[in-house]
Amino acid sequence: MIRVICNQETFVYNAYHMVKAFYPSETVASSVDEKASNYVTVEFAEDGTDGQKEAMIEIADRQTNDMPAEKSAMKKYLDRMLYKKLSEQSGRTLAWGILMGVRPTKIAMRKLEEGMTQETFVPWFQKENLVSEEKAHLAWQIAGREKKLLDQLDYENGYSLYVGIPFCPTVCSYCSFSSGALGDWEHRVEDYLAALMKELEAIAKMSEGRKADTIYMGGGTPTTLNADQLDRLLTCIDRHFVREGLLEFTVEAGRPDSITKEKLQVLRNHGINRISINPQSMQQKTLDTIGRKHTVEQVYEAFHMARKLGKRLTIIQDEIGTMVEMAGNKARQMGLFPYYLYRQKNIAGNFENVGYAKVDKAGIYNILIMEEKQSIIAAGAGASTKIVLKEPVINPESKKKKKTSLIRQENVKAIDAYISRVDEMIERKGEWLWR
C-alpha cells in the first residue's frame, strides 16, 4: 500500500500517477492535507502491518529557498524532485519521465511551431521532463509528421465532423464506449437514426458557409447498421455537408463480423476513402474471452474483402498493447511510419500507443483528436464535441474560473435518452459553436 499526501490539490494528479507508474502493481491512495509541511509525501507500508511505514519520501519542506514561485514552474520542480526520489527508491526509470498526460506530442508540436530545431528540442525535452532520448526523438518525429498533415486544414473556416453509431454486434467485456448490443437495441435503431440525422442537419445549418475538412464515423461499430440504413445515413451526410475539399472520410468497421460485401459497396458508393478494421487480437482464445463473437479467420476475410473491393479504400490496422518495440520494428519493415501518439493513464510499463501509416495514408482525424487544433463537432449518443475558440474564455466548468480555449460538450450517453433529448443536444451546441 502506498499513500500520497499533497498539501495542495493541484499536485495530486501528477504525484499519484507518477507513483502508480513506478509501482504499477501496488495499491496507491492519495489525499490532500493543507496543513502538511511537505508539498508531497509518499508513504510505503506493507500490507497487514496496520499502516506502519516501511519507507517514506518527503518532497521539499515549505521553507525551501530554491522553489520557483510561479505555479506551473513549481509543479514541474516538484515533479522532477519526486521523480528522482522514486527512481532512487525503485531503481527504475520511466521512459516518459515526469510526463503523466495523454498527449506528450503537444509539447513537441508547440516547440516546432515556435521554431525550435530537433537539435535543441531533444536535449531540452530530456532535461525538462526527464524523458529518454529515444522518446524525445519519437515525439519530435511525430510532431513533424502531424504538422505536415495539419497544415492542409482550414483553421479559420474548417471543422471536423464526428458521427457516432452506438451499436455493436456484441459488447466486449472491456468496452468503455457508449455502445449497446444490436440484439438488445434493434427495435430502436430507426428512431436513433432519425434523431441522429436531425442533429446532423442542425449542425450543417449552424455551420453554413464553413466546410468539413474531415468526417469520421465511429462508435460503437457503424457497420452494425444494415446496408440500407448505412446508405440512408450517408445520403443524409452527402446532402447536408459540402464534400468539396474534404480531406478524408473514415468509417470504423471495427468488428469484422459486421462487414459484408453489400455494406462495403455502400461505403464505396458514397466515396468513403478510409475504413478501420480493428480485430483487437489475432488470438482466438483472447477474442472469446473478451466477448468478441468472431473468429480470427473472419478478420482475414473482412480484410481481403475490403482490399478486393476497391483501390480507394485504405485499411488502417492499429497495433495496441505493450509490445511497442516489436510492433514498431515490424511496422517499419512494412514501410509504415509513426504519425500520432497518445498515452493512457496507468498504462503498465510507461509505454505509449502509436498509430502507424504509410506516409500518404495517415488519418488526419486521429491527429486532431490528440492535438486539439480544430473544432470537432460530434453527433450521436455519447459523442463529444470539442470547440476550439479563437479567444480564451472563462471555462464554464471550472470552479476556479480558469480560462480555456477549448469547450467540451458531451451528448447524453444512453441511447433512449439521446433519442428523446436530441433537441436539447442541438440547442446546447448552438451556445458555443462558431463563437
Q: Which is nearer to ligand SF4, 81 or 168 (CB)?
A: 168
1 binds ligand SF4, rule: CB under 6 A: no
**Least separation, in Å, of the C-beta of 172 and ligand SF4?**
3
Provide the minimum distance between the beta carbon of 128 and ligand SF4 in the complex, in angstroms, as a whole number.
36
**Nearest residue (CB) to ligand SF4, 338 versus 363:** 363
From 6-14, 218-226, 304-312, 326-334, span contacting ligand SF4 (CB under 6 A): 218-226
Determine if 255 is a binding residue for ligand SF4 (CB under 6 A): yes
Is residue 251 within the footprint of ligand SF4 (CB under 6 A)?
no
Minimum gap (Å) between residue 174 Cβ and ligand SF4:
7
Alpha-carbon distances of 20 from 17, 347, 407, 423, rounded to whole Å: 5, 9, 30, 43
Taking contact as CB under 6 A, which single stretch among the options 39-47, 173-181, 357-365, 422-430 is the one that binds ligand SF4? 173-181
Asked if 175 is part of the footprint of ligand SF4 (rule: CB under 6 A), the reply reads yes
- Between 177 and 337, CB nearer to ligand SF4: 177
Given 220, 222, 256, 363, the residue binding ligand SF4 (CB under 6 A):
220
Smallest separation (angstroms) from ligand SF4 to the CB of 254: 5
Considering the complex, state which of residue 14 and residue 170 has its C-beta at the smaller distance from ligand SF4.
Answer: 170
Which of 5, 81, 172, 415 binds ligand SF4 (CB under 6 A)? It is 172
| Burial class, 187, CB count within 10 angstroms (exposed 0-12 / middle 13-18 / buried 19+) | exposed
The C-alpha cell at 267 is: 461505403
Among 56-64, 140-148, 193-201, 219-227, the segment contacting ligand SF4 (CB under 6 A): 219-227
Closer to ligand SF4 by CB, 122 or 172: give it.
172
Told to check if 223 binds ligand SF4 by CB under 6 A, we report no
Out of 15, 100, 139, 168, which residue is the one contacting ligand SF4 (CB under 6 A)? 168
Asked whether the beta carbons of 112 and 143 are under 8 A apart, the reply is yes
Query: According to the binding rule CB under 6 A, does residue 299 interact with ligand SF4?
Result: no
CB of 164 to ligand SF4, least distance (A): 10
Number of residues that bind ligand SF4 (CB under 6 A): 11
Residue 179 binds ligand SF4 (CB under 6 A): yes
Task: Choose one: 165-173, 206-214, 356-364, 377-385; the region binding ligand SF4 (CB under 6 A).
Answer: 165-173
Q: Which residue, 135 or 292, has its beta carbon nearer to ligand SF4? A: 292
* Interface pick for ligand SF4 out of 171, 193, 215, 253 (rule CB under 6 A): 171
By beta-carbon proximity to ligand SF4, the closer residue of 107 and 412 is: 412
Q: Is 254 in the site for ligand SF4 (CB under 6 A)?
A: yes
Q: Assess 279 for contact with ligand SF4 (CB under 6 A).
A: no
Q: Which residues contact 161 (CB under 8 A, 6 or more apart)?
A: 203, 212, 214, 215, 216, 237, 241, 376, 377, 378, 379
Rule CB under 6 A: say whether 274 interacts with ligand SF4: no
SS (H, E, C) the chain: CEEEEECCHHHHHHHHHHHHHHCCCCCEEEEECCCCCEEEEEEEECCCCCCCEEEEEEEEECCCCCCCCCHHHHHHHHHHHHHHHHHHHHCCCCCCCCCCCCCCHHHHHHHHHCCCCHHHHHHHHHHHHCCCHHHHHHHHHHHHHHHHHHCCCCCCCEEEEEEEECEECCCCCCCCCCCEEHHHHHHHHHHHHHHHHHHHHHHHHHCCCCEEEEEEEEECCHHHCCHHHHHHHHHHHHHHCCCCCCCEEEEECCCHHHCCHHHHHHHHHCCCCEEECCCCCCCHHHHHHCCCCCCHHHHHHHHHHHHHHCCCCEEECCCCCCCHHHHHHHHHHCCCEEEEEECCCCCHHHCCEEEEECHHHCCHHHHHHHHCCCCEEEECCCCEEEEEEEEEEECCCCCCCCEEEEEEEECCCCHHHHHHCHHHHHHHHHHHCCC
Which of these segments, 4-12, 117-125, 168-176, 390-398, binds ligand SF4 (CB under 6 A)? 168-176
Contacting positions for ligand SF4 (CB under 6 A):
168, 171-172, 175, 177, 179, 219-221, 254-255
